[in-house]
Homo-oligomer: A and B are copies of this chain.
């Protein structure tokens, strides 16, 4: 095209004034220094597209050509530029994942469960941590969507209106959206889900304690304001307890390191006018802390105070007595999310919602 301009100067101008003649139109090269497909092609004595073809389907180029390309490839140390590839093909390989916290074992294990199958499928994982803040989540969704990910995996089903708009548009534009760690109602937003119902989980905690004869219950919420799933478990716990005629008190753990917070809560529980005989917690850190605190206070667990946690953290199994808890399928959520995601990328039409089990693991803290 440039050649044309130079061969027929003047004639080609579609402006009123002709192009100023002396300007040679040789702009600064903007290349970023890295080896490109053209470099490889030049070294192999072919054109760029042939190398491109070789890389994507080696069978399509002649064996002799392929050999030359292989040589050129290793001689130049070529690393394909993904941005260019994605831009040209419209098919990216990024999966974006958004979790509340990368360090929390439950989400870390989910990501680990997700990463293996994705890697096997040639997909890459872009992650962000929202800190349980849905405003921040919205801005992260916007940023992540800028990479035109094949799929966006997000934690939970509560998002800002702006986030929902983005998610819906992304979904409409062919980006698979999966909400993990929750499973609720009929999937109002039309996104795939992989998780379990937290209200039901809370009810299961209450039922277990009711079955063991407790009639004065308590639920201790997490100090993390944005953890609505813990709150829903609390709602389920309270409603199930009250439906069975028990009294249910609800309190919030003090802020700070959660095991310490759990220790401190014991004092509060014991000081209550209608002192509960059993208590459930938003998570195992609080529950384990309470177990340790109860023992330190000379209480017998479960005789004086029965305890149930959530999460099946490692600590819960190894204290004496062990902490009864709900065991969410942490890894499985990741693995199943990957499965579902890959199925969608391979053309599965239906938006699926997978309801997983969150079994109760009974240990000494309720079953002395």
Q: Which residues of A contact B (CB under 8 A)?
A: 1, 3-4, 7-8, 11-12, 14, 30, 32-34, 77, 79-84, 86-87, 90, 92, 94, 101-105, 108-109, 111-112, 115-116, 119, 124-129, 140, 142-148, 165-166, 169, 173-174, 259, 288, 292, 313-315, 318-319, 331
Contacts and interface: CB of A to CB of B under 8 A. Distances in A.
A115 B7 CA distance: 54
14 contacts: A32-B148, A33-B173, A34-B173, A81-B146, A82-B83, A82-B146, A83-B83, A83-B86, A83-B147, A102-B108, A124-B143, A124-B144, A259-B318, A314-B315
Contact of A87 (B3, B34, B87, B331): B87
A127 B7 CA distance: 50
10 residue pairs, one from A and one from B, having the closest CB atoms: A103-B112, A108-B108, A82-B146, A83-B83, A102-B112, A32-B90, A103-B109, A83-B87, A103-B108, A83-B86
A162 to B, nearest CB: 10
B108 A127 contact: no
B81 A148 contact: yes
Q: How many chain copies does the complex carry?
A: 2
A238 to B, nearest CB: 29
A79 B129 contact: no
A77 B145 CA distance: 12
A86 to B, nearest CB: 5
Contacts of A111: 102-103, 127
Given A32-B173, A81-B87, A115-B128, 19 more contacts: A8-B12, A12-B12, A32-B90, A32-B148, A77-B169, A79-B146, A79-B166, A81-B148, A83-B83, A102-B112, A103-B109, A104-B108, A112-B129, A119-B128, A119-B140, A125-B126, A259-B318, A314-B315, A315-B318
A165 B3 CA distance: 38
Contacts of A4: 12, 14
A115 B87 contact: no
A174 B33 CA distance: 10
Nearest to A111: B102
A258 to B, nearest CB: 10
